[in-house]
């Protein structure tokens, strides 16, 4: 969801993930996008201005709130793991 702060279509998202080192198959990504949209975490709209219509996705307000919560939880967990790796003295 973090890569969808601006509208993107599925294939562009696949390329972005791939260039960041995440190998994701389209057969995995597209159902996930639909599921996140159904849960209200993503919004979508069709762009028919080009010869080939494309569905663009972006993070919804609810998705942004949940993403921020998950990032906070990740940072807390990461801090704890780093502390443990240093002997747990901090």
Q: Are 55 and 44 in contact (CB under 8 A)?
A: yes
pLDDT band at 25 (very low <50, low <70, confident <90, very high): very high
pLDDT band at 90 (very low <50, low <70, confident <90, very high): low
Query: Domains of the chain, with CATH numbers?
Result: 2-85 (1.10.10.10)
Strands of 48-87, DSSP E:
54-59
pLDDT at 41: 97
Token reading at 89: 């003295």
Cα gap 31→22, rounded to integer Å: 17
Cα gap 50→68, rounded to integer Å: 34
Global pTM reads 0.80
Token reading at 64: 């942004």
Token reading at 49: 């201005």
């Amino acid at each position: 969801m973090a890569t969808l702060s601006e509208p993107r279509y599925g294939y562009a998202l696949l390329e972005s993930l791939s260039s960041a080192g995440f190998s994701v198959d389209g057969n995995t990504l597209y159902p996930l996008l639909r599921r996140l949209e159904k849960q209200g975490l993503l919004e979508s709209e069709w762009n028919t201005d080009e010869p080939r219509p494309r569905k663009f996705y972006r993070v919804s307000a609810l998705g942004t709130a949940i993403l921020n919560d998950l990032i906070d939880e990740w940072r807390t967990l990461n801090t704890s793991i780093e502390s443990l790796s240093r002997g747990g003295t901090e």
